[in-house]
Amino acid sequence: MTSSMRKSGVSSGRLDAASVQSNFSDLHPPYDDHEALVAADRCYFCHDAPCVTACPTSIDIPLFIRQIATGTPEAAARTILNQNILGGMCARVCPTETLCEEACVREIAEGKPVEIGRLQRHATDVLMEDDTHPFTRSASTGKTVAIVGAGPASLACAHRLAMYGHDVVIYEARPKGGGLNEFGIAAYKSTNDFAKKEVDWLLKIGGIDIRYGRSLGTEISLDNLQNEFDAVFLGMGLSGVNALSLEGEDKNHVDDAVAFIADLRQATDLTTLPIGRRVVIVGGGMTAIDAGVQAKLLGAEDVTIVYRRGKDAMPASKFEQDLAQQKGVRLVFDAAPVGIEGNGSLTAVRFAYTEQQDGKLVTSDETFTLPADQLFKAIGQTLGPVPDNIQLEGRKIAVDNFGRTSLDGVWAGGDCATGGDDLTVTAVAEGRDAAEDMHSKLMGEG
Amino acid sequence: MADLNSTFCGIKSPNPFWLASAPPTDKEYNVRRAFDAGWGGVVWKTLGMDGPPVVNVNGPRYGAIWGADRRLLGLNNIELITDRPLDVNLQEMTRVKRDYPDRALIASVMVPCEEQAWKEILPKIADTGCDGFELNFGCPHGMAERGMGSAVGQVPEYIEMVTRWCKEATDLPVIVKLTPNVTNILYPAEAAKKGGADGVSLINTINSITSVNLDTMSPEPMIDGKGTHGGYCGPAVKPIALNMVAEIARNAETRGLPISGIGGITTWRDAAEFLALGAGNVQVCTAAMTYGFKVVQEMISGLSQWMDEQGHASLDEIVGRAVPNVTDWQYLNLNYVTKARIDQDLCIKCGRCYAACEDTSHQAISMSPERVFDVKDDECVACNLCVNVCPVENCITMETLEPGSMDERTGKVVEEAFADWTTHPNNPSATAAE
């Protein structure tokens, strides 16, 4: 094992199957029943609870925890899913340490919040294991809605619309639904193919048809969707990736972190997935952390994440930073890449320290070089092609508080639209709320 | 979905959860919020005679005891009946009933033990559109010193007399609220029935002092250095209330008399237990005072889920279902033998079962040097103490010995036949129970 860890270049099988399996096991393993009761017992059932305010989907957290405490986790799950149909995935991937759990009054009292995320997982797991769907579809309204993309925003939107009796068709570019739940997000947060299982479970509401391999601008056009359907929701996320704009970016093993994570999530055998001996990641968000930690877990010997600003400015939470360091990933702050070295294949990345000058971040003359077999770029994603006539704000589709775009009858939500923090949970909230607005519009017109 | 619609003494409400007459139901503002939160009914804070209202203390009214993590387990109070003018209450009740016609609105009443007083006030209150009356014969502090509340409730003859006056004064249902501060709850319950009561509600609060301030040597809650007994309620009183409800439900004289169960109901399960023991509906106070009105949502979802799981379509199918299983000690089967069983996978090796058994019971649990705890079947009398002190739910359970198997403690084969105190051959004092 040791020898394959030290093997130079980019190579698969650095660790044996057992080590990989152990490395990629559940980051937050599920509670057993006793643990869930003990954890639930700590909730104070706060009035107008800060945790609910902190949740982008406004789940009634005190109520669902009380329902766990009184032995009805199924009722708890319904409380969760009423607000957030992807409550199972959000329980796993939400940065609870900066959302509900940060707001928990126990955090103030004892520095140890009620473990809301794990309790939410307990409740939703119990209900989903039952293999029934807790919601029923209203009688058909005869209205049709097209949804572009099958990620969290689209799925939440589709489920709510289907529940109201509308007929929904989802067009998804990839061969599978789930969006970043399926293709992004670290594997140790969504084990046992949960993303796919959750999509299958969600579709049991009925009235949702997913057509794969259809992307906006190629197989489908917004014009046609507007003509064929009563309403359209755009939830296709961000398909482009920012480039470093450095010479040598085309060298072998200079890769996009999102593509690496997607390959990892889709791999059936992680020991066949190649990874560098020395891996460098440029970026400071969740993608950078997910790529860095997983590179380490695959057996990379040295993994370094380099972020151009300071620790406090890093978009990845302190919990995620700590996780990376605990797994042996080195975090380097205040440095930006200035050169990519190597003949054909990458051998090293050159960085310059950064500093503030007149309120702008600039690189200094002080540089250092990190030997690298593989470089992952994790410096943000961009909107893919959209029709010219839709109004953008910054680099995203402009939407109002109801998710309405500048085009009549077209709504948008999730990462492709303005607003929100590019989290699964905010995407769900946006998809759900757009569906509510679409529903009232559709029925008002009828 | 189970149907939670409730009809109690002919009074309809969308669920069996009423707020008891108490501070939460003192005024329109609270009651509207309660109904908006989902409560099926309220018993309005007790109304008194027209004229200047009572005056409450101006210091602390509540005392409490807590469990681990400062969970409120018992609450006592020295608050009196409503301290707002009768007219104001009646106007508010009228408005609330008008705006929430599907919810139950019950007027709690307490006036002096004079026929005219009761007969004058009931029709006046009935004009609000309320659905019924609850006669407050239970309040144990303050008002009792003036010959009202529990002072009436402790004298069955008075209960019967006042109930009869009230039934003569109104066609609306009359519920008599009983005090638990008596030697036998059946006497006041029977008196209420004889007086013509449509139902009874219980328990009111229990005489109590929650604690003593050891610096000032005064009971809590303390008013200017002094304290007095208050009325105790909350989760701690539930077992007392359950027993009293069951006694009335199974007593030949009172069987079938509708009972509104009160006493420490905090979760759906508490409510289901009261219903099973014969309560037609339940009233809640302390849980709302501790957690707010929203707490009813868990009660509704939990009761509904449990009824669905059990296949109970409506409340009628639950009410009183456990009553036939409440019996006297002398009729318990002495041939029913169980033994404690410790699930070694669930055991966290705290040793509390061992300490309890070794020090205070029957030395029936062994402890190995590796802290493995096992039951000694030849010593275990199945007392259940280990189950009760174990911190892990279902880690220690009771296993029933099948007839024909050997009880190693007695060296006898477990008999299939039923044998209680009155029939068991080993009992020399069987006839003493006659």
Answer whether CATH 3.40.50.2300 is correct for domain B6-325: no
Residues sharing a CB contact under 8 Å with residue B288, sequence separation 6 or more, in sequence order: B19, B24, B34, B295, B296
Report the residue of B295, B298, B304, B392 to disrupt the A interface, i.e. the one with the largest count of A CBs within 10 Å: B298
Q: Taking CA atoms, what residue in A is nearest to B306?
A: A72
User: B-chain residues within 8 Å CB-CB of A70?
Assistant: 267-269, 298, 302
For residue A106, give how far its alpha carbon lies from the nearest alpha carbon of chain B (Å): 12
Closest to A435 measured CA to CA, from A179, A57, A51, A100: A57
- Asked if the Cβ–Cβ distance from A63 to B393 is below 8 Å, we say no
Closest to B307 measured CA to CA, from B350, B272, B349: B272
- Asked if the Cβ–Cβ distance from A34 to B393 is below 8 Å, we say yes
Fill in the amino acid letter for A128.
M
Q: Taking CA atoms, what residue in B is nearest to A35?
A: B392
User: B-chain residues within 8 Å CB-CB of A69?
Assistant: 267
The H or E element spanning position A208 is strand A208-212
Kindly report the average pLDDT of chain B as a whole number: 95
Helices (H), A72-165: 73-83, 87-93, 100-103, 105-110, 116-129, 152-163
- Asked if the Cβ–Cβ distance from A63 to B346 is below 8 Å, we say no
- Asked if the Cβ–Cβ distance from A75 to B69 is below 8 Å, we say no
User: Does position B433 have pLDDT exceeding 60, yes or no?
Assistant: no
Percent of chain B with pLDDT over 70: 98
- Asked if the Cβ–Cβ distance from A74 to B298 is below 8 Å, we say no
Q: Of A45, A47, A70, which has the smallest distance from its Cβ to B302's Cβ?
A: A70
Distance CA B171, CA B126 (A): 9
- Asked if the Cβ–Cβ distance from A75 to B301 is below 8 Å, we say yes
Domain boundaries, chain B: 6-325, 330-433
Q: Of B69, B298, B305, which has the smallest distance from its Cβ to A66's Cβ?
A: B298
Asked if A349 contacts A370 with a C-beta cutoff of 8 angstroms, the reply is: yes
- Asked if the Cβ–Cβ distance from A42 to B392 is below 8 Å, we say no
Helices (H), A151-218: 152-163, 180-183, 194-202
Q: Of A45, A70, A75, which has the smallest distance from its Cβ to B291's Cβ?
A: A45
Pairing state between β A360-371 and A348-357: antiparallel
pLDDT for the residue A445 = 59
Burial A250-288 (b: 16+ CB within 10 A, else e): ebebbbbbbebbbebbeeeebbebbbbbbbbbbbbbbbb
Report the residue of A41, A70, A74 to disrupt the B interface, i.e. the one with the largest count of B CBs within 10 Å: A70
pLDDT for the residue A446 = 46
At B333, list the tokens: 């089967």
- Asked if the Cβ–Cβ distance from A34 to B294 is below 8 Å, we say no
User: B-chain residues within 8 Å CB-CB of A35?
Assistant: none
For residue A97, give how far its alpha carbon lies from the nearest alpha carbon of chain B (Å): 23
Least reliable range by pLDDT among A127-136, B206-215, B314-323: A127-136
User: A-chain residues within 8 Å CB-CB of B298?
Assistant: 63, 66-67, 70, 72, 75
Q: Taking CA atoms, what residue in A is nearest to B348?
A: A34
The model's pLDDT over B250-307, given as tens digits with 9 standing for 90+, comes to 999 999 999 999 999 999 999 999 999 999 999 999 999 999 999 999 999 999 999 9
Highest mean pLDDT among A132-136, B10-14, B49-53: B10-14
Per-residue confidence of chain A (446 residues) as pLDDT tens digits?
455 778 889 999 999 999 999 999 999 899 999 999 999 999 999 999 999 999 999 999 999 999 999 999 999 999 999 999 999 999 999 999 999 999 999 999 999 999 999 999 999 999 999 878 999 999 999 999 999 999 999 999 999 999 999 999 999 999 999 999 999 999 999 999 999 999 999 999 999 999 999 999 999 999 999 999 999 999 999 999 999 999 999 999 999 999 999 999 999 999 999 999 999 999 999 999 999 999 999 999 999 999 999 999 999 999 999 999 999 999 999 999 999 999 888 999 999 999 999 989 999 999 999 999 999 999 999 999 999 999 999 999 999 999 999 999 999 999 999 987 889 999 999 999 999 999 999 999 54
Residues sharing a CB contact under 8 Å with residue B326, sequence separation 6 or more, in sequence order: B246, B249, B250, B277
- Asked if the Cβ–Cβ distance from B268 to A70 is below 8 Å, we say yes
User: B-chain residues within 8 Å CB-CB of A42?
Assistant: 69
User: B-chain residues within 8 Å CB-CB of A45?
Assistant: 291-292, 294-295
- Crossing angle of helices A194-202 and A152-163, in 10° steps, is 20
Q: Taking CA atoms, what residue in B is nearest to A78?
A: B301
Burial A18-47 (b: 16+ CB within 10 A, else e): eebeebbeeeeeebeeeebbebbebbbbbe
User: Does position B3 have pLDDT exceeding 60, yes or no?
Assistant: yes
pLDDT for the residue A15 = 94
Closest to A288 measured CA to CA, from A266, A250, A317: A317
Q: Of A42, A47, A63, which has the smallest distance from its Cβ to B298's Cβ?
A: A63
What is the predicted ipTM?
0.89
Q: Taking CA atoms, what residue in B is nearest to A74?
A: B305
Work out the burial of residue A409: count CB atoms within 10 Å of its CB; fewer than 13 is exposed, 13-18 middle, 19 or more buried.
Answer: middle
Fill in the amino acid letter for B165.
W
User: A-chain residues within 8 Å CB-CB of B302?
Assistant: 67, 70-72, 75
Distance CA B404, CA B408 (A): 12
Length of chain A counted residue by residue: 446
Helices (H), B170-291: 186-194, 238-250, 268-276, 286-291
The DSSP output letter for B389 is: H
Mean pLDDT of B403-425: 93
Compute the count of residue pairs across chains A and B with CB atoms less than 8 Å apart. Answer: 44
The model's pLDDT over B158-179, given as tens digits with 9 standing for 90+, comes to 999 999 999 999 999 999 999 9
Residues sharing a CB contact under 8 Å with residue B357, sequence separation 6 or more, in sequence order: B363, B364, B365, B385, B386
Give me the CATH topology for the region B330-433.
Alpha-Beta Plaits (3.30.70)
Q: In what order do the strands lie in the sheet with A330-332?
A: A254-256, A374-378, A278-283, A302-306, A330-332
Pairing state between β B218-220 and B132-136: unpaired
- Asked if the Cβ–Cβ distance from A79 to B301 is below 8 Å, we say yes
pLDDT for the residue A3 = 58
A407 Rama sector, left if φ>0, alpha if ψ -120 to 50, beta otherwise: beta
User: Does position B52 have pLDDT exceeding 50, yes or no?
Assistant: yes
User: A-chain residues within 8 Å CB-CB of B269?
Assistant: 70-71
Asked if B21 contacts B30 with a C-beta cutoff of 8 angstroms, the reply is: no
Asked if A115 contacts A441 with a C-beta cutoff of 8 angstroms, the reply is: no
User: A-chain residues within 8 Å CB-CB of B69?
Assistant: 41-42
Asked if A7 contacts A277 with a C-beta cutoff of 8 angstroms, the reply is: yes
Residues of A at the B interface, defined by Cβ within 8 angstroms: 33-34, 37, 41-42, 45, 47, 62-63, 66-67, 69-72, 74-75, 78-79
pLDDT for the residue A5 = 79
The DSSP output letter for A7 is: -
Report the DSSP beta bridge partners of residue A331. Answer: A305
The model's pLDDT over B134-147, given as tens digits with 9 standing for 90+, comes to 999 988 888 888 88
User: B-chain residues within 8 Å CB-CB of A66?
Assistant: 295, 298
Mean pLDDT of B330-355: 96
Closest to B223 measured CA to CA, from B55, B56, B60: B60
Q: Of A62, A70, A74, which has the smallest distance from its Cβ to B269's Cβ?
A: A70
Report the DSSP beta bridge partners of residue A137. Answer: none
Phi, psi of A295 (to 5 degrees): -60, -45
- Asked if the Cβ–Cβ distance from A42 to B295 is below 8 Å, we say no
3-state secondary structure of B410: coil
pLDDT for the residue A96 = 95
3-state secondary structure of B295: helix
Which residues of B are designated catalytic?
139
Residues sharing a CB contact under 8 Å with residue B255, sequence separation 6 or more, in sequence order: B249
Closest to B293 measured CA to CA, from B30, B12, B5, B6: B30
Q: Of B294, B305, B346, which has the smallest distance from its Cβ to A74's Cβ?
A: B305
- Asked if the Cβ–Cβ distance from B301 to A66 is below 8 Å, we say no
Residues sharing a CB contact under 8 Å with residue B121, sequence separation 6 or more, in sequence order: B47, B49, B50, B109, B111
Work out the burial of residue A6: count CB atoms within 10 Å of its CB; fewer than 13 is exposed, 13-18 middle, 19 or more buried.
Answer: exposed
